[in-house]
Amino acid sequence: MTDEQGERREAILEAARAEFAEKGFRGATIKSIAARAKIQSPALIYWYFPNKEALLEAVMQGQMPFLQTAQALDGLLEREPSQLLTLLAKGYLQAGDNQRTVQIMRVILGEMLLGRNPTDLLSEQIVPQIKQFLERYFQHQIQLGRMRQHDTRASSRAFMGMLMPQMLSKVIFPSLQADGLTDDEHIATTIEIFLNGLKPKE
């Protein structure tokens, strides 16, 4: 890809992000995205992205660094639990600190609440990938004697679920932030509770 093509692709992504944030996935069109990106022919967008769904996925990946982190997890199996879980939790919650990211997350959540799923990136790729990694990680920690024997399918769900309220406070329930709980405080308490419940039996 030439520099000019790379710049055009970035212009399309920036225009798509703005259109999705303002109009939602259904309201944004290839034509309106092309107009915002100052591209004369909307058909040119299809040279870079096969459809609007692929464009949304590209916007999500660009706005959520955690998605890239999630794709490089297998090298972390030996990490001590408090370190690894803190790393994952911070990477996840930091996505909610970027207003552009929050806008895109609202678009995705809105579509899902309406029973529509414009992209499989989260529901069929990223979330299952992270859950499967956590299951393998917890099983490995059991083998190392760092955790007691338990059903890692449940513990992986539990850990992910414990982070959700803090993220939702940034995305759709800002009133939850009234108590002043910081990400670091939430992460530290969550991990302490979680790991205390999984301590090896004496």
Q: Average pLDDT of 21-32? A: 90
Alpha helices of 114-151 — where are they, by DSSP H?
127-144
Helix (H, G, I), strand (E, B) or coil at 181: coil
Q: What is the pLDDT of residues 112-167, one digit of tens each?
A: 777 777 766 666 667 888 899 999 999 999 999 999 999 999 999 999 999 999 99
**Residue 38: partners with Cβ closer than 8 Å, 6 or more residues away:** 11
Cα–Cα distance list, 193 to 49, 70, 79, 153, 196 (Å): 44, 23, 19, 18, 5
Q: What pLDDT does 68 receive?
A: 59
